[in-house]
A and B are shown apart, each in its own frame.
Chain A
């Protein structure tokens, strides 16, 4: 089945630790996105990539990093510089139409 797979579903981070969230898509979409969702709020854009080997900062990129070495993969690293990382992280992809989302990774602090 075509779709977007995010892993892991739940992730715990220790203080001072970097963690990486995985996002893989087999929809052959050029564009991929990372959003953060906090309770009571909509989705806020962290980073996006319109094409392989290129990515741009979104509205809340500080404390995050990404790479786009392959079309199907867009991993997000939450660095220790992100002081409030507890949130629900959503990955999406698109090609000329609506964005399609994975089922998210919930990140918590130990």
Chain B
């Protein structure tokens, strides 16, 4: 498949370990945040979202943490599996519509 990003920051973890992917967002007025997973040659896939009135939200094996004070978002993946290998993007929404601003992405590599 095609490479999504050749020069992305990369996080390499051992299978079974927990992964933490970080994102600094730019707009203090942003009130909705989304994490996407993108596998090579495919479109981004929704993982989890969080609104600004929350600081933590959990899904299946994933947790998103939001720190509005320092404009920081993180995605935690528990018991990382080889199928988690992908590029992960954060996105923020700061208007009343559905417009998103995307971060540059982080490549997660899972070592067996």
**A residues neighboring B (CB under 8 Å):** 4, 6, 31, 37, 39-43, 45, 48, 50, 88, 90, 92, 94-104, 106
Contacts and interface: CB of A to CB of B under 8 A. Distances in A.
Contacts, number: 59
Contacts of B105: 42
Contacts of A6: 43
Contacts of B36: 101
Interface of B: 2-8, 34, 36, 41-46, 49, 89, 91, 97-100, 102-105
Contacts of A97: 49, 98
7 contacts: A40-B6, A42-B104, A50-B97, A92-B43, A98-B49, A101-B45, A103-B43
B2 A106 contact: yes
Contacts of A40: 5-8, 104
- Give the dominant DSSP class at B's interface: loop
Contacts of B4: 37, 39, 88
Contact of A104 (B43, B91, B104): B43
